[in-house]
Amino acid sequence: MAMPERQTRSGKQFGNVQSATQLSERTAPFAPLPEDAADVIGIAWAPSQEPERILFNINEYDIRNCDLRSLEEHQQLNDEVINSYMQLICKRNDENERYQRVYAFNTLFHENLQEKGYGSVERWTKKNNIFSYGIVFIPIHFEGNHWIFVTINMLEESIKLYDSFYAKDGRILQNIRSYLSNESRNKKHQGLDFAEWEIAVVEERPTQDNESDCGVFTCQYAECVSRGEPPAFTKANVSYYRRKMTYGIMKKKTSFLN
């Protein structure tokens, strides 16, 4: 099966090993937020008498006050925040030739795949060929109470699971492998040889020490993977990332620090 070439769309070699200087220059993880951030975040997190009222949308995802407030300290991020943030990353990568194109499934994808099988998600990619993307994101609400993150990297030929807490359940990886095999046969009319693929739980990754930050970790894993970088954040800076994500969603972009 033909895979995307191992390079960025600008023609430069795509690699995963980068120096600490390169990482700090590209990600600027603790750079000050824009001057209007405090006001924007204050508006986002302000209590509302209509918490379910739609404020705006990002792609097909409606954003309400209750969604934005799930980004406050000690709150677990909800589906709309996870889905919309993944879409912002996809948009950023589409518009920036330094990065690989990303396709993101929504948070219901794996639940449907696991409970109902491939047939229930077969049409989800009717308008998109996932094999034409460099990276595929699959955010998963594991057992309804914990966010984890799976990536399919078409360039590296890998399926990896990032879990900020448990990092134990290999069944999810097998589900995704089976899905990818079925998708290749269905859409490409040929099998997929996994002999040289890396299919693994990522052991060296930032981890959480509470029960509420898993969604933030999932989104930050996605940020790093989308840039071709190893996760370079820590649990000590979760508050910063909650604010950064809130600002990004309110402004409908993740590129303000890039």
CB contact at 8 A, 151 and 138: yes
For helices 238-251 and 79-94, angle between their N-to-C axes, nearest 10 degrees = 70
- Given the DSSP bridges, would you call strands 146-153 and 135-142 parallel, antiparallel or unpaired? antiparallel
Distance (Å, whole) CA 76 – CA 142: 13
Catalytic annotation, pick one of 90, 214, 219, 224: 214
Is 146 part of the annotated catalytic residue set? yes
Distance (Å, whole) CA 43 – CA 66: 12
Take residue 70 and report the two structure tokens written for it. Answer: 């799930």
Sequence-distant (≥ 6) Cβ neighbours of residue 18 within 8 angstroms = 26, 228, 229
Catalytic annotation, pick one of 90, 146, 219, 224: 146
Cβ atoms within 10 Å, residue 208:
18
Q: How far is CA 42 from CA 65, 72, 96, 209, in A?
A: 12, 10, 30, 26
Distance (Å, whole) CA 118 – CA 176: 10
Is 110 part of the annotated catalytic residue set? no
Is 163 part of the annotated catalytic residue set? yes
Catalytic annotation, pick one of 90, 163, 213, 219: 163
Task: Kindly list the catalytic residues.
Answer: 146, 163, 214
